[in-house]
Structure 1
């Protein structure tokens, strides 16, 4: 039996609003070089190099040049799919599946996650590929290390998914951890292209039909704006994962963080030796001498035209600052 061709599909659409002012529309968090001198996007490309035969990048018109610069630097050949407007993950993944052969196995990953313990990561990928080859749609669940409220959860029994849960409050998160059969939802998937498209056709036919039309009229991988605007903007979790009967979960032990907030960036930077003062205060973005008086666990984020000062535990609230600036159509988001 011949081996399925494996494609690493990298989704690069997010804007990282909880990491403003570091993350901007012109340079979202996955392209920032604040992580060990490499961007998260570059680290994503590197970690999957040996696991796949092909690389495919699904990005948008505003960031495709940033992906191109990284991939050209490392001489990586890739298939480029450029969305003219963001339509969420169900459509983004559908485009990758339409661009593939029916039996190709796709490993779909975001471009802005930190992953450690690569041996365990590769083990999880191999397990997922085996399940995908049998016709399952595989999601990766991370064994939780703490009752995190910033992530969605997967309730499981063995490798079967019982339910998907939205980001919980602190009480529910503790309850999930205590029960022991809940995993963090990593937003990574593995499946055969045709299996994904068949399930999309069944459970979200409107997304399937409109994505197919948009894909069929692409010009060199660039999708038509008018046709794209007809695609319902829904997540793959909602379109397929919560509905399909073909879902399996791989329970994974590798280190994982989606770096979705300054709290998780703070925790990661400490592990690579970024300095904090004796009260746990951290400076990001400047080498200027900065003194903190009367505060602890505070993060000072400096950029050329905007600063942010926050208590670490209020990291999720950065999005409200971003949303307020968006309502004002502020150029501080660009």
Structure 2
């Protein structure tokens, strides 16, 4: 009865990964770094979803779409390229993908810079989300938390019902969430029919809907116009739709997940893959030279050809402050 609708994997490639400077740069954001057993996070994202979707769309920007193109060539993946002239946050990025689809197409929207293990659990969660999306729901993926993480937003849930969305908590609040047992990490992954998402966007954020539609309709081969794009309010999909719509469902998922947003999470991932550390938990990233640590614990030494970063693992979230400081100085070290 129902066919002609495709399942489309939409990859969002915004983000510079400021907490992973100096590895992550404007010219080489974290999702393109081939530091994960010779692959990048982007490549792993493409491969993970190949068998789940009929088509692929990549929403990128003028600075990074050539990097995405290289990955798509390497993996021999055909895709629709949507190139934003300027970042307008996730509501607009997702709207462009929905406008580029048929209204009955089911979109699986994922960031390009996440690590996911336990693929079997991942596939089960995706299938469950697709079936809810077919019923007209907008589905978000909530990860069953393994610790009171302060770097993620949370979803308060009951079964597949969303009770509330919560901002990144402080330590005390995060512990409270875990103790209550019905809080999930907000993964930033979604699944829905293109038409349903656009209806909700039109209802709750008509300005984003109308202006994104104009930009999409005037696009040339997927390249979007700068001046028209600047008119689009820069709003996240969470704020525009997820926190307001009555059509939201959550799939609580037990696949192991990290947004690798900090050196602490990169450290944990690399340790799990056998990357060496010394007896005091010190780690070297990006340097082949003999390096030794004296009187230090849990220190990460990050080496690139023009910058070194030496940090306590626990200070990982503060790397963005260095990035922001260099940005103020208009430093070449961010390029």
* Matching of residues 126-165 of structure 1 within 5 Å: 126-165=127-166
Give the distance between the partners of 1:205 and 1:327, measured in 2 at CA: 34
Where do 5+ consecutive residues of structure 2 fail to align?
none
In the TM superposition, what is the alpha-carbon distance from 1:73 to its structure 2 partner? Answer: 1.5
Aligned twin of 1:285: 286
Give the distance between the partners of 2:292 and 2:117, measured in 1 at CA: 32
Deviation per residue, 1:192-220 (Å, 9 max, x gap): 00000000001111111111111110000
In the TM superposition, what is the alpha-carbon distance from 1:2 to its structure 2 partner? Answer: 2.2
Give the distance between the partners of 1:290 and 1:90, measured in 2 at CA: 45
Let me know the Cα RMSD of the aligned residues: 0.6
Q: Is the 8 A contact 2:43 2:75 kept in 1?
A: no
Deviation per residue, 1:285-311 (Å, 9 max, x gap): 111111111110000000011110100
Deviation per residue, 1:227-275 (Å, 9 max, x gap): 0011111110111101111000000000000000000000000001100
SS in 2 for 1:156: strand
Give the distance between the partners of 2:35 and 2:72, measured in 1 at CA: 18
Where do 5+ consecutive residues of structure 1 fail to align?
none
Aligned twin of 1:121: 122
TM-score, normalised by the number of residues in structure 1: 0.99
Give the distance between the partners of 1:253 and 1:291, measured in 2 at CA: 38
Aligned twin of 1:296: 297
SS in 2 for 1:49: helix
* Matching of residues 165-204 of structure 1 within 5 Å: 165-204=166-205
Aligned twin of 2:213: 212
SS in 1 for 2:43: helix
Q: Does 1:330 align with 2:331?
A: yes
Deviating runs (4+, > 6 A) in structure 1?
none
* Matching of residues 1-334 of structure 1 within 5 Å: 1-3=1-3, 4-334=5-335
SS in 2 for 1:249: strand
Count of residue pairs the alignment pairs up: 334
TM-score, normalised by the number of residues in structure 2: 0.99
Give the distance between the partners of 1:270 and 1:102, measured in 2 at CA: 44
SS in 2 for 1:124: helix
Give the distance between the partners of 1:182 and 1:74, measured in 2 at CA: 36
Give the distance between the partners of 1:232 and 1:17, measured in 2 at CA: 23
SS in 1 for 2:51: coil
In the TM superposition, what is the alpha-carbon distance from 1:70 to its structure 2 partner? Answer: 0.9
Give the distance between the partners of 2:232 and 2:312, measured in 1 at CA: 39
In the TM superposition, what is the alpha-carbon distance from 1:5 to its structure 2 partner? Answer: 1.1
Q: Is the 8 A contact 2:109 2:189 kept in 1?
A: yes
Deviation per residue, 1:76-96 (Å, 9 max, x gap): 100000001011100000000
Give the distance between the partners of 1:106 and 1:288, measured in 2 at CA: 46
Give the distance between the partners of 2:87 and 2:202, measured in 1 at CA: 20
